[in-house]
């Protein structure tokens, strides 16, 4: 069952060839057997999953089923889930039981999807390798001594290893697309505001966006159709007509203009990764697309701009974790100041503390204009670069990551080197654009991702472009050895 697409599973459920309970129990058994190797899950909600599966079977029996009714999925552990622990991969929230559902969780539940559990992640989504989690690193199913990418590494590993057919996740600077690339799956980050952030624990509020991980663009389109939509509880949610992203997946690509950012194919890109990406682009040319070169001249400034804006917002968002209202609380405090200091020093890991310190510094008196204001000005220039590029191209393409997955511990002691893993992705978040990564080959047995960037609210085109490539290639359907 785990080798079938979501569409195939949905058809089997509606034809009553299998029940949601049988399907759910199959994936729960795979998690029990396979996850100890990967550490992809923080919490497995077995009893709740069976209950939701039985409810889905009843919906199917009554003829009330939608396309995803009865399909299992996993939620990244920063989406609040009523009555279930929501940790954000941090000791700070190790004992936090959410009193409500995030909008994403609510929408999935209302459409009859079945929650298998909550996936591991870099602490408070801060990391590119899933090594900063309080619950230990996640391992890449393609090679257990390598990282799956981050911060949504648990979701990526779970989908790649066929422990869950779908997963919700978030992207602040590449945290969907980079792990999708390193783990050999499909991941899409929608336009900022397309999917509600209500109930999604914040890292950097102007950058965070919820999205989808799946094996294929066709599967991702089904879940994104459920998740997307206006939410009055989220002030950043954009009011637009809801779309069914599966409707135009098969549209031809004749005349599609593909822009290749010159800065994404230069120094720092592994030449074998570049060769895989160029081979994928050649397939698009054979399908009738036209290739043009575009210039994103401020690409090199995206890393410094991002690592001012994101920590600044993080320092503000994480100020609420003080040991008073919820989260980790230091024992036997000697006063309020001691409670604050020890609760935060004990509850947060090294990377989170580093970013809080950076963010507090750049927002402080005397440095705000020099750092934070300047970073916001660079953000505007980066956004304008993209808009000029889209005057000449319908989508942009390039590598998602400059290299394949690196070994566990290889970059953990060098934060700057780790930050450079997101050099092709974080400009997209600064601009608020939609983008996705799809499998495009292998280098020395490790997956390579093709990065596809679209204009605002053009997720339908992105999914169409990805799907057409996946119709003529099989990179997305290949499974890691031992997880077939």
Contacts (Cβ under 8 Å, ≥6 apart) of 469: 280, 283, 284, 287, 438, 440, 450
What per-residue confidence (pLDDT) applies to 229? 96
User: Do 117 and 173 lie in a common domain?
Assistant: yes
Q: What are the C-alpha distances in Å from 223 to residues 244, 383, 431? A: 10, 28, 24
Catalytic residue among 19, 90, 151, 237: 151
What per-residue confidence (pLDDT) applies to 413? 86
DSSP character string of 441-465: EEETTEEEEEEEEE-TT-HHHHHHH
Indicate whether 277 belongs to any domain.
Answer: no
Assess whether 151 carries a catalytic annotation.
yes
The domain total for the chain is 2
Nearest-5° angle of CA 339, CA 360, CA 378?
155
Q: Is 51 exposed, middle or buried (0-12, 13-18, 19+ CB in 10 A)?
A: middle
Contacts (Cβ under 8 Å, ≥6 apart) of 15: none
Domain that holds residue 247: 6-256+392-477
Indicate whether 295 belongs to any domain.
Answer: no
Count of CB atoms within 10 A of residue 232's CB? Answer: 9
Contact between 192 and 237 (Cβ < 8 Å): no
Task: Examine the fold and report which residue of 341, 372, 403 is the final residue of a domain before the chain moves on.
Answer: 372
- Residue 98 and residue 18: Cα distance in Å, rounded? 33
Which residues are registered as beta bridge partners of 168? 75, 212
Catalytic residue among 19, 20, 34, 76: 76
Please, what's the largest Cα pairwise distance for the chain? 70
Contacts (Cβ under 8 Å, ≥6 apart) of 85: 42, 43, 94, 95, 96, 97, 98, 118
Tens-digit pLDDT profile for residues 304-362? 999 999 999 999 999 999 999 889 999 999 999 999 999 999 999 999 999 999 999 99
Which letter does DSSP use for residue 204 in this model?
S
Catalytic residue among 175, 181, 225, 246: 175
- Residue 475 and residue 447: Cα distance in Å, rounded? 9
DSSP character string of 164-181: -SEEEEEESSSTTHHHHH
User: Do 243 and 197 lie in a common domain?
Assistant: yes
Q: Where are the alpha helices (DSSP H) in 318-373?
A: 336-347, 350-363
Indicate whether 83 belongs to any domain.
Answer: yes
- Residue 184 and residue 483: Cα distance in Å, rounded? 13
Which letter does DSSP use for residue 289 in this model?
-
User: Do 103 and 131 lie in a common domain?
Assistant: yes
User: Do 35 and 169 lie in a common domain?
Assistant: yes
Q: What are the C-alpha distances in Å from 93 to residues 309, 350, 454? A: 24, 16, 35
Strand runs labelled E in 111-264: 114-119, 166-171, 186-189, 209-214, 257-261
Expressed in angstroms, the distance from the first to the final Cα of the chain is: 11
> Domain holding 413: CATH number?
3.90.1300.10
What per-residue confidence (pLDDT) applies to 366? 87
Indicate whether 264 belongs to any domain.
Answer: no
Which letter does DSSP use for residue 248 in this model?
T
What per-residue confidence (pLDDT) applies to 425? 97
Task: Examine the fold and report which residue of 372, 402, 422 is the final residue of a domain before the chain moves on.
Answer: 372
C-alpha neighbours within 13 Å on the C-beta side of residue 29: 8
Contact between 172 and 311 (Cβ < 8 Å): no
Indicate whether 279 belongs to any domain.
Answer: no
Contact between 73 and 33 (Cβ < 8 Å): no
User: Do 20 and 132 lie in a common domain?
Assistant: yes
Indicate whether 482 belongs to any domain.
Answer: no
Residue whose entry in the numeric block shows the structure tokens 């160029």: 278
Token duo for residue 344:
């935060």
User: Do 221 and 110 lie in a common domain?
Assistant: yes
Low-confidence ranges of the chain (pLDDT < 50): none
Indicate whether 284 belongs to any domain.
Answer: no
Tens-digit pLDDT profile for residues 50-103? 999 999 999 999 999 999 999 999 999 999 999 999 999 999 999 999 999 999
User: Do 407 and 357 lie in a common domain?
Assistant: no
- Residue 418 and residue 147: Cα distance in Å, rounded? 12
Helix (H) or strand (E) holding 304: helix 302-317
User: Do 208 and 119 lie in a common domain?
Assistant: yes
User: Do 447 and 354 lie in a common domain?
Assistant: no
Assess whether 237 carries a catalytic annotation.
no
User: Do 325 and 405 lie in a common domain?
Assistant: no
What SS3 state is found at 261?
Answer: strand
Task: Examine the fold and report which residue of 322, 340, 372 is the final residue of a domain before the chain moves on.
Answer: 372
Which residues are registered as beta bridge partners of 333? none
Token duo for residue 222:
């089904």
User: Do 110 and 179 lie in a common domain?
Assistant: yes
Indicate whether 289 belongs to any domain.
Answer: no
User: Do 360 and 414 lie in a common domain?
Assistant: no
Which letter does DSSP use for residue 5 in this model?
-
Which pTM was predicted? Answer: 0.96
- Residue 180 and residue 150: Cα distance in Å, rounded? 9
């Amino acid at each position: 069952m785990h080798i079938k697409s979501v569409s195939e599973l949905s058809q089997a459920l509606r034809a009553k060839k299998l029940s949601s309970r049988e399907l759910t129990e199959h994936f729960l058994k795979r998690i029990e057997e396979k996850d100890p190797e990967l550490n992809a899950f923080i919490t497995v909600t077995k009893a709740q999953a069976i209950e939701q599966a039985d409810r889905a079977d009843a919906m199917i029996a009554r003829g009330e089923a939608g396309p995803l009714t009865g399909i299992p999925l996993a939620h990244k552990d920063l989406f609040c889930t009523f009555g279930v622990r929501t940790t954000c991969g941090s000791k700070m929230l190790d004992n936090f039981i959410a009193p409500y559902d995030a909008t994403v969780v609510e929408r999935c539940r209302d459409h009859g999807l079945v929650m298998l559990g909550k996936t591991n992640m870099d602490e408070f989504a801060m990391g590119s390798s899933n090594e900063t989690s309080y619950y230990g690193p996640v391992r890449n199913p393609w090679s257990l001594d390598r990282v799956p990418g981050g911060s949504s590494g648990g979701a990526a590993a779970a989908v790649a290893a066929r422990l869950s057919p779908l997963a919700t996740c978030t992207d602040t600077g590449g945290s969907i697309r980079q792990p999708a690339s390193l783990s050999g799956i499909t991941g899409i980050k929608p336009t900022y505001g397309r999917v509600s952030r209500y109930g999604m624990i914040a890292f950097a509020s102007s950058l965070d966006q919820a999205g989808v991980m799946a094996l294929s663009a066709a599967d991702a389109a089904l879940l994104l159709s459920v998740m997307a939509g206006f939410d009055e509880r989220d002030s950043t949610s954009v009011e637009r007509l809801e779309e069914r992203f599966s409707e135009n997946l098969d549209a031809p690509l004749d005349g599609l203009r593909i822009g290749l950012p010159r800065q994404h194919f230069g120094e720092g890109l592994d030449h074998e990764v570049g060769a895989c990406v160029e081979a994928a682009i050649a397939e698009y040319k054979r399908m009738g697309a036209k290739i043009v070169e575009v210039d994103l001249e401020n690409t090199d400034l995206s890393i410094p701009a991002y690592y001012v804006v994101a920590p600044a917002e993080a320092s503000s968002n994480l100020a609420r974790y003080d040991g008073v209202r919820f989260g980790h609380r230091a024992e036997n405090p000697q006063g309020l100041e001691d409670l604050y200091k020890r609760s935060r020093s004990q509850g947060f890991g090294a990377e989170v503390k580093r970013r809080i310190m950076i963010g507090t510094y750049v927002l402080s008196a005397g440095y705000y204009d020099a750092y934070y204001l300047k970073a916001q000005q660079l953000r505007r220039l980066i956004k304008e670069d993209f808009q000029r590029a889209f005057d000449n191209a319908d989508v942009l393409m390039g590598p998602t990551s400059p290299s394949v997955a690196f070994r566990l511990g290889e970059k953990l002691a060098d934060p700057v080197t780790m930050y450079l893993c997101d050099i092709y992705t974080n400009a997209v978040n600064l601009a608020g654009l939609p983008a996705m990564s799809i499998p495009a080959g292998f280098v020395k047995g490790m997956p390579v991702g093709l990065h596809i960037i679209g204009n605002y609210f053009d997720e339908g085109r992105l999914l169409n472009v990805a799907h057409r490539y996946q119709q003529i290639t099989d990179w997305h359907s290949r499974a890691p050895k031992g997880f077939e």
